[in-house]
Amino acid sequence: MKLTVTVNGTSYTRVVEPRLLLIHFLRDELGLTGSHWGCDTSNCGACVVWLDETPVKSCTMLAVMADGRRVMTVEGLARGGSLDPVQQGFAACHGLQCGFCTPGMMLTARWLLDRNPDPSEAEVREVISGQICRCTGYENIVRSVLWAAAHDDRLRAAPPQGRRAVHPRPRHLR
Amino acid sequence: MQVPAQVEYEKAASVEHALSLLARYGPEAKVLAGGHSLIPMMKLRLAQPEVLIDISGLSGLSYLTLAGNVLRIGTLTRHAQLLDSEVVGEHFAILHDAERVIADPIVRNWGTVGGSLCQADPSEDLSAAFAAMKGTMVIHGPDGRREVSAREFHTGPYETVVGPAELLIEIRLPIRPGGGSAYRKVARRAGDWPVGAAGAAVWLAAGGRRIADAGIGLAAVGAAHFAAAEAEDFLRGRPADEPTLARAGEIAAEHCRPVTDQRGPADYKRHLARELTIRVLRAAVSRGLAS
């Protein structure tokens, strides 16, 4: 079945099996391996991407369900060559250890800050309650998000029209 | 690696189109809304439909409207929308209580109310909440619409009265004077299915001293139709005091049939049915007095 989806501002048209999960479409068809395939059971949140305006667990979506919609992955989080304040927060506060949960954590954090620019620590913990850091580095993840909240206005550029990946696709997938 | 079995896919362009697709493909077709119950079942091969009929693009089925004294919830309304709605919070505190503990914020972004109900998992929280509120389900089929009470909607685990050629379209909840409601759940960890959960709605009379009517919903404890009808009968017309609520909790626990599973032993679940029923009744009465 043919689907057309806009990922990080770029439109892609592919023919896929209806049973293909969105996470595998992003990783295997488009080569966007920033989104991680973790528990496969909607529990861990490593696969979180934005579908239109909200983060979703892409292991629990069929790729065809994204037909005609917009997807943002971690590759689309930086704008105009500069890291999103959330990414800067994770760097500043040591918000990642192994890094496996990080893309999903950052995409959920960006959504939170767009809705609630000044969240409490409890609100940060609540919003990531469906995501697991197997290094158990939650303290620093929460600190990173709060850092981003404190620096968001100053560091965040106006959203450009259509977000583009700043990293090129892996050579073997071009 | 979990992937669904091969399946055909049809995208419905309208309710009528969805109904014609359902009529064409018959019982081997499954309706796909948010997919957050169905796709995990398909990945485990516990569900293996031949065709998916995707209704997720039917944005006209996503709404929350207050018409007179009835809240209408479109079947594609997402859990997050229910939780974000001020109208829902004002009149149906039970739904906000329940939504805060249904899955996690990310799952709530895409999972739908109608999808949860039609999946009919015996541990599903909204089914118990709607049973407590004595809601009505509107089902659209080839011969038009029909209404079914929330108490008649589920016919068993993973089974509902929605026929293979029908769609759940809307849930209706009445707003009645003197009402208060609440929901509580015990789960093993954040976002999990309940070990046991209870919801209650009470409608008070005589300046708050007497219970005119009550609704009690139970999830995950083997309550028939997600309800504790015998405890409701007991409460009707009695004073809204602590001994009455305690007795109602005992009656609710006596009539449910929990089973021992990986979430807990049956006797613990029965204990939860009693204790949570008392707590939600207490909270519902308190909210009813404040309203």
Q: Where are the domains of chain A?
A: 2-77, 85-155
Give the pLDDT confidence score for residue A81 in this predicted structure: 86
Instruction: Indicate if the pLDDT at residue A68 is higher than 90.
Output: yes
Q: Rounded to the nearest 10 degrees, how much is the dihedral formed by the CA atoms of B164, B166, B172, B173?
A: -10
Which domains, and CATH codes, for chain B? 8-54 (3.30.43.10), 59-174 (3.30.465.10), 179-290 (3.30.390.50)
A163 band by pLDDT with thresholds 50, 70 and 90 = very low
Give the pLDDT confidence score for residue A165 in this predicted structure: 40
CB contact under 8 Å between A65 and B35, yes or no, is yes
Using a CB-CB distance cutoff of 8 angstroms, which residues of chain B are in contact with residue A64?
Answer: 9, 11, 54
d(CA B46, nearest CA chain A) in Å: 14
Coil, helix or strand at residue B114: helix
Tell me the count of A-B CB pairs closer than 8 A: 84
Give the pLDDT confidence of A21-32 residue by residue, as tens digits: 999 999 999 999
Using a CB-CB distance cutoff of 8 angstroms, which residues of chain A are in contact with residue B5?
Answer: 19
Using a CB-CB distance cutoff of 8 angstroms, which residues of chain A are in contact with residue B11?
Answer: 64, 67
Comparing alpha-carbon positions, the chain B residue that sits nearest to A112 is: B105
Give yes or no for B83 touching A (CB within 8 A). Answer: no
Give the pLDDT confidence score for residue A80 in this predicted structure: 84
Provide CB contacts within 8 A for B125, sequence distance 6+. Answer: B98, B101, B102, B183, B185, B194, B197, B199, B219
- CA–CA distance from B157 to each of A145, B124, B219, B226, B232 (Å)? 41, 10, 11, 10, 23
CB contact under 8 Å between B106 and A17, yes or no, is no
Interior CA angle at B2 toward A172 and B6, to 5°? 85
CB contact under 8 Å between B190 and A129, yes or no, is yes
Give the pLDDT confidence score for residue A154 in this predicted structure: 67
Rg of the Cα atoms in chain A: 16
Q: Write out residues in chain B with pLDDT < 50, as ranges.
A: none
DSSP 3-state percent helix, strand, coil across chain A (nearest 5):
40, 15, 45
CATH 3.10.270.10 fits A2-77, yes or no: no
A160 band by pLDDT with thresholds 50, 70 and 90 = very low
**Test the B interface: residue of A39, A52, A65 with most B CBs within 10 Å:** A65
Instruction: Indicate if the pLDDT at residue A166 is higher than 80.
Output: no
For residue B10, how far is the Cα from the chain centroid? 27
Instruction: Indicate if the pLDDT at residue A172 is higher than 90.
Output: no
Give the pLDDT confidence of B76-108 residue by residue, as tens digits: 999 999 999 999 999 999 999 999 999 999 999
ipTM of the complex: 0.93
Instruction: Indicate if the pLDDT at residue A170 is higher than 50.
Output: no
CB contact under 8 Å between A127 and B1, yes or no, is no
Give the pLDDT confidence score for residue A153 in this predicted structure: 78
Question: A85-155 falls under which CATH superfamily?
Answer: [2Fe-2S]-binding domain (1.10.150.120)
Give yes or no for B109 touching A (CB within 8 A). Answer: yes
Give the pLDDT confidence of B62-76 residue by residue, as tens digits: 999 999 999 999 999
